[in-house]
Amino acid sequence: MLTSLNRPLHLAVIGSGPRGLSVLERLVCRLTAEYDQAAGHGGPAPRPVVVHLVDNTEIGAGRVWRTDQDPWFTMNTVASQITMYSGDSDTGPARPGAGPSLHQWLTAHTPAGQEPAGPNDYATRAEYGRYLADVYRSIVRALPPHAALEAHVAGVTALSPRPDGTWDLALDTAPHRLSAERVILATGHPRNEADTFDAAMESFAAGHQAHYLRGDSAADMPLDETTIPAGSTVAIRGLGLSFYDVMLSLTIGRGGEFKAADDGTYAYIPSGREPRIVAGSRSGLPIPARGRNQKSAHHSHQPKFLTRAALTAARTARAAQAGSAQLDFAEDVLPLLLDEIAYVYYTTAHRTRTEAAEAAENTTTDTTTTTGTVTGTSAGVGVHERFARELADHLHRGRDLSVLLDGAGLGDVAPVDLKALARPFAGMRFDSAGAFREHLLTVMREDLDQARLGNADGPLKAALDVLRDIRNVVRDAVDFGGLLPASHVRDFDRDYLPMNALLSAGPPLERVEQLYALIAQGIVDVTGPLTRFATDETTGTFTVASEQVPGSFARATALIDARIPTPDLARDTSPLIRRLRADGLVRTFTIQGPDGAHATGGLDITPAPFRVLDASGRPHEGLFALGIPTEHTRWFTQVGSSRPGTGRTLFYRDADTIAEALLAPTTTAVTADADTAPAGTATGAGRPLAAAGTARSTS
């Protein structure tokens, strides 16, 4: 039997959602390998490790993915493209490093008599939460003999360094105090203090018979009939993904029902308990539908233009020209990104037209051909490959595409205009609210038609899918102050991010079809672009209107901000974050450049392994941060899973980097106090960890 004379290494993971769970998964992978290596050589056991996993909502799922949510809250990525394991499932049991994708798990856990979810179906958030909880249980089962895990349903209210280099964690429930040598912050979506608009709306609501709901997860909003009575008018600010969650809560959540027709369209059957919904945003466009998925879970677009080599060359040129390697997003990054989109767009259009022409020719020349999909003859494939090479060459050289497109029969294909897609009503003025409604429904129907073509065969949705596929390269350009401060604010934050969010992260087709039905039936009104939300003291109501749509004015007794709060260290209401700021243990990441400085609101960290920096810029040796708290320092940290079979994705590289740092040799040691040691753990020197391989929950 392996033994060890070392005292336990105590680690703390704050937050058990996808990011915290990913660190735990990679941590146990490394602990298992460590133990197996020691056992294989017949040497002493590795140093015992105790991991404290702390979450204030639900261990293994966190707040956003908690398992008691209503079933109409769904994900916006198909189930086959989601996994929380760092390796694919094999013949053995699910365990760190090898486990099922979400789709595989759903298939195995479908109740008898129910139809299993398909690979291109969208799971509910509660189902994903149950999957995460099962991943957590598989991690616990796989703990090697020298490791123990303690789960605490509690909020961390303070984190204080000790003179010996360890950390003291204050909890709002028993055991009230924990000690750890190393801590990882993976705390997820924040709740922010009121901004100027919030404060004004809340003050107004408090003085009248009105309700204002600040931005948050819809599952945590009071959307019942006490707050929003049946037949009342509710205004919704924002038309993004969270808008759909609120919309569904106020319709099917009130007992209404959507009936699907054979053509995929919907009709809504009201229950009579619904409010009237009036919604608006800057664009006036509900976030468009995601293309019907035609891609395997293993698909990954390989960039041809926006590559790491291209970014390196741009940085070298910038440094030579201006003395700073920081990029200008509009000049150095966006043109390459647009080339990437144009390439996928035109090659998809050419391929599908070539295949359609060949299918028609085969049908007329060979009446004995059996029904099926024509994949293209060698001649057709050759023509397409030649077009793709010529298109890539034209884009690399910056040449005009018109002659090439005309020769390929694509002269009638309008180019992709991201700004026009994201702001389709810019500069337009409508005669009436009815005129805008009809125009909006036309835009939505055209988008739905494009989405039905798919994200592989539909040129537009295939091109927009590139925005998702190249996120990692965009991160290389912008993370850790990679852009000039002014360009980061103007070109990236103000222009690109809203456009990217609108065009790359849409809901399932079904959701947009349902919204279309609600608008067509008059249950939901979208006021128009540049919607203004205000108050009327005389009537005690909120007001909603679009300056581009005469007749769009409406009054409401409730106003909901349906936008997820943006992480902002200075406005985060978390007691832990506030205490860390007050003690000078953290600071906001500020982009410094030759054209000034920009305080981003993100938590300042080092590059991998993402150590937290204190107020003076010194890294904490034993404090790390991952995910949403570091948004703005790094980009798009809200991603909550990886894709199966795609190797060491960034999601797991991040987790593994931190896991490695958590287990690195240390000169400090934590002596477990009697009230914080796991059951059976010996605290005296020279005694083995009797509770190894166990997990214990506290609350």
First-to-last alpha carbon distance for the chain, in angstroms, is: 34
Strand partners, 12: 52, 183
Residue type, 176: H
Residue whose token pair is 């290389």: 476
Question: How many angstroms separate the CA atoms of 420 and 502, rounded?
Answer: 12
| Residues 580/571, Cβ–Cβ less than 8 Å | no
Residues 454 and 312 occupy one common structural domain = yes
Residue 173 lies in a domain: yes
- Is the omega angle on the peptide bond into residue 609 within 30 degrees of 0, that is, cis? yes
* 264, containing H or E segment: none
- Of 544, 561, 578, at which residue does a domain stop? 561
Q: Where are the beta strands (DSSP E) in 284-409?
A: none
Q: Which one, of 116, 178, 160, lies nearest residue 672 by Cα?
A: 178
Indicate whether 330 and 402 sit together in one domain: yes
- Stated pTM of the model: 0.92
With a CB cutoff of 8 Å and minimum separation 6, the contacts of 129 are 58, 61, 65, 66, 67, 69
- Indicate whether 339 belongs to any domain: yes
Q: What is the rounded distance in angstroms from the CA atom of residue 6 to the CA atom of residue 689?
A: 9
pLDDT of residue 43: 80
Tell whether 329 and 278 lie within a shared domain. no
Check whether the bond before 175 is cis (ω within 30° of 0): yes
Tokens of 41: 């050589």
- What 3 state SS string does 568-590 have? CCCCECCHHHHHHHHCCCCCEEE
Provide the pLDDT for residue 666: 64
- What is the reported pLDDT for 645? 78
pLDDT of residue 519: 98
pLDDT on residue 665: 87
Residues 38 and 149 in one domain: yes
Closest of 266, 265, 271 to residue 249, by C-alpha: 271
Tell me how far apart the alpha carbons of residues 260 and 514 are, in angstroms, rounded to a whole number: 9
How many whole angstroms separate alpha carbon 687 and alpha carbon 664? Answer: 22
Give the integer Cα–Cα distance in Å for 49 and 7.
Answer: 9
Together in a domain, 530 and 632: no
Which tokens hold the place of 220? 């945590």
Claim to verify: residue 265 and residue 365 sit in the same structural domain:
no
How far apart are the C-alpha atoms of 554 and 546, rounded to whole Å? Answer: 10
Name which of 650, 576, 660, 684 is nearest 155 in CA terms. Answer: 576
Same domain (yes/no): 208, 253: yes
Q: Looking at the domain assignment, is residue 496 inside a domain? A: no
Q: Is 600 inside a domain boundary?
A: no
Nearest Cα to Cα of residue 644 among 62, 94, 27: 94
Nearest to 598 by CA among 694, 486, 687: 486
Q: pLDDT value at position 667? A: 52
Q: Are residues 554 and 671 in the same domain?
A: no
The pair of three-digit structure tokens given for residue 287, joined into one six-digit string: 């976030």
For residue 160, the SS3 value is strand
Same domain for 517 and 620? no
Over residues 631-685, the pLDDT tens digits come to 999 999 988 899 897 656 899 999 999 999 999 986 544 433 433 333 322 222 2
Stretch (H or E) spanning 212: strand 211-213
End-of-domain residue from the set 561, 583, 601:
561
Tell me the torsion sign for CA atoms 328, 331, 337, 341: positive
> In the structure encoding, which two tokens stand for residue 383, read together?
């023509």
Torsion of CA 653, 600, 337, 447, to 10 degrees: 100
Over the stretch 240-259, which tens digit does the pLDDT of each residue have? 999 999 999 999 999 999 99
Q: Which of 525, 542, 561 is the last residue of a domain?
A: 561
Any idea what the CATH number is for the domain that residue 547 is in?
3.50.50.60
Whether residues 462 and 534 fall in one domain: no
- Residue 658 sits in a domain whose CATH number is 3.50.50
Q: Is residue 595 part of a domain?
A: no
> Quick one: pLDDT at residue 672?
37
Q: Do the domain assignments include residue 158?
A: yes
Q: Residue 364: is it exposed, middle or buried by C-beta count within 10 angstroms (0-12/13-18/19+)?
A: exposed
Residues 568 and 190: their CA atoms lie apart, in Å, by 8
Residue 286 DSSP code: P
Range of the domain at 642: 9-191+611-698
**In the prediction, which pLDDT does 373 show?**
40
d(CA 5, CA 195): 54
Task: Report the residue count for the chain.
Answer: 699
In sequence order, what DSSP letters do the residues of 309-351 get, joined into one string? HHHHHHHHHHHHHHS--PBPIIIIIHHHHHHHHHHHHHHHHHH
Tokens (6 digits) for 30: 């490394």
Q: Distance between CA atoms of 180 and 166, rounded to whole angstroms?
A: 6
Q: What backbone torsions phi and psi does residue 10 show, to the nearest 5 degrees?
A: -100, 125
Same domain, 148 and 279: no
Looking at the domain assignment, is residue 593 inside a domain? no
Q: Which pLDDT does position 463 carry in this prediction?
A: 98
CB 13 within 8 Å of CB 20: yes
Q: Which stretches of 460-613 are assigned E, i.e. beta strand?
A: 524-526, 531-536, 541-546, 554-556, 558-561, 588-593, 596-603, 611-613
* Residue numbers in the chain where pLDDT is lower than 50: 1-4, 368-375, 668-692
Phi, psi of 434 (to 5 degrees): -65, -40
| Rounded Cα distance, 249 and 218, in Å | 8
Q: How far from the centroid of its chain's Cα atoms is residue 193's Cα?
A: 22
CA angle, 618 then 620 then 622, to 5°:
165
> Residue 423: left if φ>0, alpha if ψ -120 to 50, beta else—which one?
beta
Residues 260 and 279 in one domain: yes
pLDDT of res. 677: 34
| Structural domain count, the chain | 3
Give a yes or no: residue 167 inside a domain.
yes
